[in-house]
Chains A and B, each alone.
Chain A
């Protein structure tokens, strides 16, 4: 059974059909890339998965549970985390505090009124957060203010936040957008080194990133899936070339 099953999802913004009858199955433990030209609906699809947008039609099942009409925080509690195009962190807090939040979210759920417990005194939880930070190579920044980190380190911190409450599905929206070559390579290494069985869905423009990471690729164009297959199959697929380069070049 696929971990994520998107069935006949459609969504329009006014007259613009952003998604049209999208069907997509993501297998457990794989890295699945979503590619396509600008405006193809890739980010829209991710926003549907995180509860930010409600589709007009269709269904999304995660691990056998329906995802539509579930709030963003409950979707995260079910095990879906998202890495944003621009690293989304808590800039005024320290790196350790940033990662402490998901650790408590994992223990306490979406809301718990434990006002008299000192969070720094919960040693096992804090140690777990520290481990996550070290694993992502931010050991030397443990007590730095998150907003002062470099872009690459912010991305690492965001990954640490996402991984700290042990997601089963990680959504990555252009994780290397705006990065320099060496930072992109570091990010690829980082994602490749995560051999912990987490399923990943990655939206990316950089084909180098896509072909380095993805086991399976789906191509979106004008809100529809036009091709699906292994990286080798996609490379030579005529519809894909057409979608990217236009008919003249075929």
Chain B
């Protein structure tokens, strides 16, 4: 096959334009927070497309809320890892000594007891929690919006993520500021009118109704506000991600 010079020049120009177009798109996507921390590897393309398109389309969208009569009569408690010695001690004391600490890019690092958290106006929503396996249930989730607590400690303007750590061993995750400041994102301490049962993550669980169940970690004990996830674990944003599970789970 003979390729004419014109064809060669045209395809060369097209390839250059395409490559620079992609480079510009990547820069813009990064600048506007459309690239997830686990964008590397063979599944990075899918993860990035999902995260970017959902951030563009659904940044401020509210998770569906349900009428009270649709609350599941028997919420299914998924398996939790065996409780640690430390946790049992706190549980024996009625969680009076349970603390949530906040550090990182905040003006005033702080530590909250359960009573402190409950002193802020409580909010609730009746939303569905859905597991990546396929099952789901609806409950009324009661707590304090994470944005309220972030306001109390004051976050730096360059903050981009909130890392949250569970009392379950090697269990931590993170969310971007769109989710951290979303009005339905709760530090949840009660469910269906009662204290949050330990099997459901009591005394304190993070509740993200726009993300899959495994992102809604139980036994939250520490928050770190940061501008980069590179320093945390392997840098892909969560312990789940290190086990091959996606960081962003709006899908």
Asked if A pairs with B, the answer is no
Residues of B within 8 A of A (CB): none
